[in-house]
Structure 1
Amino acid sequence: MRPPFPLPPRDEAIRVPGILLLRTDDGSDGDAWNDVLERMGELPGMRPPGAGGAAEAGAAIPRRLIVAQEPGWGGSTRATPQEIAAAFDRPGAWIPDLVVLTDARTARDAEARPLLAFSGSDGQAFWITPRQTAMAYLALHRGLSFTLDGFAEEAPAEWEDGEAPDPEEEDEYEPAGLALEALDTPPRYTPPDRELPVLVQEADLLVRTDFTDDAAWASVTETVRRGRGASLDVIEDFAEYVTFVDDPAFAGATPEQVMAQVRPGADPEELISDVVLIADAATMREPGQTVRVVPLEDEVGHSFRVDAEVAGIMVVNLALGNMGLEDWREDDA
């Protein structure tokens, strides 16, 4: 008989989004498990089984990551996602948005550390890396069903008659987020020194994280407002579409810390893209005034840079659906 999952009671006041991370190997490869945890980082709302849910529910943006070691669900009798999903059918229990578990492929592939993942509601399985899991977790409160469907299409994990495939078949698809694991400086969340304010996305946001040069910041905001019209002596103004966040609380904040604080606005029909812009030290100090673009849904975690003069027209076209991130990413210098 399989052991029960260490799930807290269902939330009463507010639905807390989150992930259940399960260790389902036989316990013989602690290095792989520790490597997975290291890559995921010190995520907000991360807690051991058995802890109460009040802290997550009371946070500015509630979220929950339960980390559990349950060898009874793996080893030589590894459970399928369908069997695990069926175990969530418990009255009054919290159901995670995503279930992520280690398996034999996690230990076998030290480069990517693929994890087997599936939605807690429909059981659609796919492969994903630890860092991609962490980046999705930071934006999970926004509702990432489209993103998770994309992962399932990109790196599906299939079972036939409830049996796990052979190792060669498991490795047929590269896990979602493989590019993140290969970066020289991969994204990794670390807790800020102090709690950061919530950023409500009533319009697209440009968040200042470097406060060493006020003149440079003024130049960046003017360039974003006027766009390419600044060099063509054409009057443009993107201020209606971009809110400039000049709050010293974000001094030194990382892209991961900023993205974790962005909450959708109250009006879902508002013309807003699914990215947050950051003016960091490179924006202020390097030629070209490039701003960092941090995706919040599609391609979540895969940030890139664009010139400040195209930031305004970029977010408008993304919001309208006229262009995609790939149209701007290819210009990343």
Structure 2
Amino acid sequence: MRPPLPLPPDDDGESRVPGILLVRTGRDDDVWEDVLWRMGELPGMYRSDQGDASEAVARESISRRLIVAEDPAWRGATSEDVSAALERPGIWVPDLVVLTDDRTGRNADWRPLLAFRSSGDDAFWITPRQVAMTYLVLHRPNLSFTIDRFADKAPIELQWEREEGEEPDEDDFYEPVGVELESLNAPPRYTRPARELPPLIQENDLLVRTDFTDDAAWASLVERVCLPCPGYDDVIDDFGDYVDFVDDPAFAGATPALVMAEVRDSDTQEEEEEMVSGVVMIADATTMREPGHRVLVIPLEDQIGFAFRVDPEVVGTMVANLAIGNQDIGDWRNDEA
């Protein structure tokens, strides 16, 4: 009989803490450490050898949990075993469960993880970096729809029908969600900031300055976003009321992962029916120093973590169309490509 998973008690109060449970089921230490390294030093991360699981909530501005279960007693466990353990009454239940698997050990390029909701339904494959990027925005509304898309894109069933008794190989599986992230020259990885960053309240769409070497370039960028020059026709003449510009030195040098981890909705947004897009924008060193001042766009709900750049003159048009659902992230990523 396996021991209980290291889960804290069920949340008290009205606000439930979102989070993910990661369970080690394999025996290879190198594979396990590779998975953890790719995921990064995530906020709210609790490893089962760190004491009381009830303390497993990030001390940063956004509460979330990543419970890492690495008890040797869970080696060889299946998704059914974990699902059964989550039926114990009185425990906190994660939004998503991910397990290492035989496929995790076989594929050193992607390290696919087996993922499912606590109910055990709609299992799918996902890479460690995609798990990490999803975790950073798990507190946002409508993330359940994102997970639904993951399940549709990379289900655990085989792509091809096998002959009876024939063992499947890697080509028979669907590619896990997040392969593109793992394949980038500089793949995203969260590392904790030296000091706690302030929250980014998304009352409007946000453009966050992370490079402070050129104040004139920043001023020019703000003007070009607010007042696109002739040739960028739009029904809105001034986007200054739709984009908030964050000029806070606390974010100097912040990576996209650090910025996206701090974005949260305004408490009044739903009451006032304000509409914002599912992205956060960054003015980094490349934005400031290159002639076009192209803004870095970080998706927060669809295609999470897949950054791309747009001209400052189209920022307003982009966020407006994303907010009303007239376009999606793919339209803008494809345009850049």
Superposed pair shares fold, TM > 0.5: yes
**Which ranges of structure 1 fall in alignment gaps of 5 or more residues?**
160-164
Letter in structure 2 aligned against 1:41? G
Identity of aligned residues (%): 62
Q: Cα RMSD (Å) of the superposition?
A: 2.2
Change (3 A) 1:73 1:244: same
**Worse-superposed segment, 32-41 or 52-61:** 52-61
**Worse-superposed segment, 49-58 or 242-251:** 49-58
Q: For residue 179 of structure 1, what is the aligned residue in structure 2?
A: 180
Contact 2:210/2:253 (8 A) holds in 1: yes
Q: For residue 196 of structure 2, what is the aligned residue in structure 1?
A: 195
Q: Deviations over 1:165-188 (max 9, x none)?
A: 954389420000000000000000
Q: State the Cα distance separating 1:326 from its structure 2 match.
A: 1.2
Number of matched pairs: 323
Q: Distance in 2 between matches of 1:187 and 1:272?
A: 24
Change (3 A) 1:241 1:36: same
Q: For residue 101 of structure 1, what is the aligned residue in structure 2?
A: 99
Contact 1:125/1:157 (8 A) holds in 2: yes
Q: Distance in 2 between matches of 1:87 and 1:320?
A: 41
Q: For residue 10 of structure 2, what is the aligned residue in structure 1?
A: 10
State the TM-score, normalizing by the size of structure 2.
0.90
Q: State the Cα distance separating 1:198 from its structure 2 match.
A: 0.4
SS at match of 1:244: strand
Q: For residue 307 of structure 1, what is the aligned residue in structure 2?
A: 311
Change (3 A) 1:216 1:91: same
Q: State the Cα distance separating 1:84 from its structure 2 match.
A: 2.1
Q: Distance in 1 between matches of 2:334 and 2:203?
A: 28
Contact 1:101/1:116 (8 A) holds in 2: yes
Q: Deviations over 1:175-224 (max 9, x none)?
A: 00000000000000011111000011111000011111111000000000
Contact 2:157/2:173 (8 A) holds in 1: no
**Which ranges of structure 2 fall in alignment gaps of 5 or more residues?**
159-165
1:281-292 mapped onto 2 (5 Å cutoff) = 281-292=285-296
Q: For residue 330 of structure 2, what is the aligned residue in structure 1?
A: 326
Q: Deviations over 1:45-97 (max 9, x none)?
A: 1112243434626531001111111454442xx42x34422321222101111
Q: Distance in 2 between matches of 1:15 and 1:197?
A: 22
Q: Distance in 2 between matches of 1:46 and 1:22?
A: 13
Q: Deviations over 1:266-316 (max 9, x none)?
A: 223311000000011111100111000000111111111111111110000
Q: Distance in 2 between matches of 1:169 and 1:210?
A: 43
1:244-255 mapped onto 2 (5 Å cutoff) = 244-255=245-256
Q: Distance in 1 between matches of 2:232 and 2:329?
A: 24
